[in-house]
Amino acid sequence: MLATLDRFFELKERQTNVKTELLAGLTTFLTLVYIVFVNPTILAEAGMNHNAVFVATCLAAAFGCLVMGLYANYPIALAPGMGLNAYFAATLVISMGISWQVALGAVFCSGVLFLILSILPIREMIINSIPKSQKMAIAAGIGVFLILVALRSANLMGSDLSDVGALGNFAQWSAVLVLVGFVVMVVLDAKKIPGSLALVILAIAIVCWLVGLAPVPNAIVSGVPSLNPTFMQLDIGGALSIGLVAIVFALLLVDLFDTSGTLVAVLHQANMLDEQGRIKKLRHALLADSSATIFGSLVGTSTTTSYIESAAGIRVGGRTGLTAVAVGALFLLTMLFAPIATSIPAYATAPAILFVGCAMAKSLGEVEWGDLTEAMPAVITAFAIPFSGSIATGIGIGFITYVLTKTFAGQVKSIHPAMGVIAAVFVVKFIFL
């Protein structure tokens, strides 16, 4: 068996072994297992069944990890993405009034488009058409959006995400636990302690159970909850309506950029890029990501994407798909711990959401601030996303601002034709749709 694993995953060629790969898989899993607590909590606000979403989260993550490991042979872990899950619940369902079934249909459509783009050569054209400043601004904007979601779930803000001035009551248990938990997460992560986010979530939950702020789980391990409430409940027909085209497009863009950026960052750390800094099996990795999004929408969760937390496993030596396979197996095993996951209160997961949001917001630091024609539109994009409560609207406003700024600055040649077309489409949407 060891010889078979060695040949299949190219262990010797990549200077690693089974023990190292399994340890790397465990490390990566510990850094992102918080998603099985956070994702069901967020999507439950959209009216989805918490237990079913918990199972769907584990299944989507396991499926994505297994495909990435077995097909692309990369140590990249996948799971439902932070930011897009909040957008799914807070914007599409709560603010826009779209049913979660239609929202799942939009996720499915974006996954299918991503799959097609992963096969066709126009994938590179789309990625290259968006300037780096706008890509960084989108990531930062989603980060700020997550920060607002975290403050709202901790009752530190009003229920309306667009009303950033509606502060809540800081003199309450939930506020104290969230703020203290956030600080502890930052300290533990700075010390590079694996699983710091999950550890703090569980610690807050235990405190809540002990003092009676949340019901104590009646068991530690149980049978896997039913997936029926969310399985194959997506409404693809509703998602194909003309009014949701921008939504599908936004989901596609964010997933595409997030995946590409994560792959480059993580594989660069592992010294697995070619001489030109390109990913050798980019098509394989993107196919794994897009197929995971499609699968996730079928079982009942928002967009599934590659996770930057995969870098934790790479730090301890993970170099092949066996690391990802190990992560996938652990996600499948996690389904047995449903009693604990479903007993964790929303404000126990809020520090993790706040932490991830702050980590994403740092992307603005990579904008070229010396060029105002790049920096100013980036700021507009970054703040239009959270203040409008819509990733699609924020992207549209930012892209239009970028094209107009470059045009009137006499830098038309620096605008990629595809970028101009995208901006024009958003103009039509804002005026007529």
| Residue numbers of the chain with a pLDDT score lower than 70 | 123-124, 127-128, 157-171, 242, 274-278, 433
Query: Which has the closest alpha carbon to 45: 101, 105, 79, 93?
Result: 93
Contact 263, 283 (CB under 8 A): no
What pLDDT, in 10s, does the model give residues 101-117?
999 999 999 999 999 98
Q: For the chain, how long is the longest CA-to-CA vector? A: 67
Contact 44, 53 (CB under 8 A): yes
* Total Cβ atoms within 10 A of residue 275: 5
Q: What is the pLDDT of residue 398?
A: 92
Q: What is the pLDDT of residue 169?
A: 63
Contact 429, 246 (CB under 8 A): yes
**Tokens representing residue 318 in the block:** 């993970």
What pLDDT, in 10s, does the model give residues 22-34?
999 998 998 889 9
Q: Around 397, how many Cα atoms within 13 Å sit in the side-chain half-sphere? A: 21
295 phi, psi to nearest 5 deg: -60, -45
Residues in contact with 428: Cβ distance below 8 Å, sequence separation at least 6, in sequence order = none
Residues facing 305 on adjacent strands: 79
Report the C-alpha gap between 39 and 47 in whole angstroms.
13
Q: What is the pLDDT of residue 392?
A: 77
